């Protein structure tokens, strides 16, 4: 993390870790990967387009997630972040559909798998922490049953052993008195506690790839820091790839290795986290950074904001989709800019960055 970050962004997520992962979730079960395998992306999304009818909501998106690293997907609501994660899981809600592109996971194209084979991958190899825990948990099943079931199906554990691991997972994510609460129903948990259950469920089968859609939004600051450090630790020790979706730049500063900024369904900028915070290249990235509160700043003036709103997918402007809100918009922006490499590690979609 750049040394200037704590002065720019109010993260507040530096609480000490409460508990180490249980032995079966630690590095002793890590896969033995060849040097070539560690250099290849675990998830390689190429030219992904997702449409509802004739309206694309994700447009020609290409991103990569590597083993042992966390890629943070950043942007306002309506940018296409969650739809990207749903696409990787092949859970795009109807009438949406993936109209083009490829989703390569460990060398296999997920779009070519039969539904039975894809179902085997979900939960075992690829897990997702959904944004809305109340609608993601089954209201008529006890929490312990919902946590244990994936381990029984994908790992072949007996029910008693799966429930024992469920208790360990609940303790790991900070749920008090986990053995007793194993028998509670989702409505007996607060919103933050339900979110912790979803995190525990996603980690249950030690996935290779974790998709986390706003995983810490409902959590208090102390638990937020603990969960982010846990995900980072598991990613490093188990070579797990993490795609973390957030709008909170404090979370990005704490958790990310790489940052990808989305706007109106397109990738606008991608960079290593330190380079991104030191010098954002896209005006949209600059705007997001300017909106972040300063630590220790007691100035009563209003924080700056980006004027306007993310356009509807059916009402995109001509040329650059950000141009109506951009303070640097020019005549050149009437033509859509391509995504180009600035250097070996950075991509940006903006005429200004190359002028």
Write the DSSP assignment of 139-186 as a string of letters: TTS-HHHHHHHHHHHHH---HHHHHHHHHHHHHHTT-SSHHHHTT--G
pLDDT at residue 222 in the model: 79
Q: What is the percent of the chain where pLDDT is above 90?
A: 69
State how far the Cα of 313 lies from the Cα of 56, in Å rounded to an integer: 7
Report residue 9's pLDDT band, with 50, 70 and 90 as the boundaries: very low
pLDDT digits (tens, 9 = 90+) for 232-246: 888 888 899 999 999
Q: In what order do the strands lie in the sheet with 209-213?
A: 126-129, 209-213, 241-246, 70-74, 258-263, 266-272, 347-348, 340-341
pLDDT at residue 226 in the model: 81
Rounded mean pLDDT, 283-303: 80
Strand partners, 127: 210
pLDDT digits (tens, 9 = 90+) for 106-124: 989 999 999 999 999 999 9
Q: In the predicted model, what is the mean pLDDT of the chain? A: 88
51 or 196: which leads in pLDDT: 51
CA dihedral 148, 150, 155, 161 (to 10 degrees): 0
Q: What is the DSSP-derived secondary structure letter of residue 32?
A: -
State how far the Cα of 164 lies from the Cα of 142, in Å rounded to an integer: 15
* pLDDT score of 5 more than 50: no
Backbone angles phi, psi at 210, to 5 degrees: -115, 125
pLDDT at residue 47 in the model: 97
pLDDT at residue 278 in the model: 94
Cα→Cα distances 143→30, 112, 179, 200, Å: 28, 34, 11, 11
pLDDT at residue 26 in the model: 60
State how far the Cα of 347 lies from the Cα of 339, in Å rounded to an integer: 6
* pLDDT score of 281 more than 60: yes
State how far the Cα of 282 lies from the Cα of 268, in Å rounded to an integer: 7
Q: Exposed/middle/buried for 161, CB within 10 Å: 0-12, 13-18, 19+?
A: middle
* Six-digit token string for 277: 């915070």
pLDDT at residue 32 in the model: 52
Task: Yes or no: say if 17 and 230 are a contact pair by the CB < 8 Å rule.
Answer: yes
State how far the Cα of 272 lies from the Cα of 346, in Å rounded to an integer: 7
CA dihedral 177, 180, 182, 187 (to 10 degrees): -90
* pLDDT score of 315 more than 70: yes
pLDDT digits (tens, 9 = 90+) for 197-213: 999 999 999 999 999 99
Rounded to two decimals, the pTM is 0.87
Look up tokens 């100035």; give the residue: 299
Query: Which segment of 180-189, 292-301, 321-330 scores lowest on mean pLDDT?
Result: 292-301
CB atoms within 10 A of CB 260: 25
State how far the Cα of 327 lies from the Cα of 273, in Å rounded to an integer: 24
| Side-chain-side CA neighbours of residue 287 (13 Å) | 21
Query: Which segment of 178-192, 256-270, 297-311, 313-327 scores lowest on mean pLDDT?
Result: 297-311
State how far the Cα of 136 lies from the Cα of 309, in Å rounded to an integer: 28
Report residue 38's pLDDT band, with 50, 70 and 90 as the boundaries: low
Q: What is the percent of the chain where pLDDT is above 70?
A: 88
């Amino acid at each position: 993390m750049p040394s200037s970050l704590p002065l720019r962004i109010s993260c507040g997520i530096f609480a000490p870790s409460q508990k180490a992962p249980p032995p079966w979730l630690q590095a002793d079960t890590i896969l033995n990967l060849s040097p070539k395998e560690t250099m290849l992306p675990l998830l390689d999304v190429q030219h992904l387009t997702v449409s509802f009818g004739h309206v694309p909501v994700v447009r020609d998106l290409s991103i990569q997630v590597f083993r042992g690293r966390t890629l943070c997907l950043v942007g306002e609501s309506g940018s296409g972040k969650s739809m990207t994660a749903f696409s990787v899981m092949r859970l795009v809600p109807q009438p949406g559909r993936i109209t083009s592109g490829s989703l390569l996971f460990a060398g296999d194209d997920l779009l070519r798998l039969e539904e039975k084979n894809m179902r085997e991958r979900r939960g075992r190899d690829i897990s997702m922490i959904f944004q809305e825990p109340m609608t993601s948990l089954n209201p008529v099943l006890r929490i312990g049953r919902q946590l244990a079931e994936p381990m029984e199906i994908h790992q072949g554990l007996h029910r008693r052993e799966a429930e024992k691991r469920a208790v360990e997972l609940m303790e790991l994510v900070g749920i008090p008195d986990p053995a007793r609460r194993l028998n509670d129903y989702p409505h007996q948990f607060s919103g933050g506690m339900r979110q912790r259950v979803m995190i525990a469920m996603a980690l249950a089968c030690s996935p290779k790839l974790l998709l986390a859609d706003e995983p810490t939004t409902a959590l208090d600051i102390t638990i937020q820091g603990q969960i982010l450090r846990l995900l980072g630790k598991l990613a490093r020790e188990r070579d797990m790839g993490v795609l973390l979706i957030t709008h909170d730049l404090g979370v990005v500063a704490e958790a990310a290795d790489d940052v990808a900024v989305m706007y109106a369904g397109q990738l606008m900028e991608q960079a290593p986290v330190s380079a991104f915070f030191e010098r954002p290249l896209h005006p949209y990235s600059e705007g997001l950074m300017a909106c972040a509160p300063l630590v220790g700043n007691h100035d009563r003036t209003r924080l700056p904001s980006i004027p306007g709103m993310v356009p509807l997918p059916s009402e995109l402007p001509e040329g650059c989709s950000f141009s109506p809100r951009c303070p640097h918009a020019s005549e050149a922006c009437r033509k859509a800019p391509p995504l180009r490499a600035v250097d070996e590690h950075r991509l940006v979609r903006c005429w200004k960055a190359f002028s």
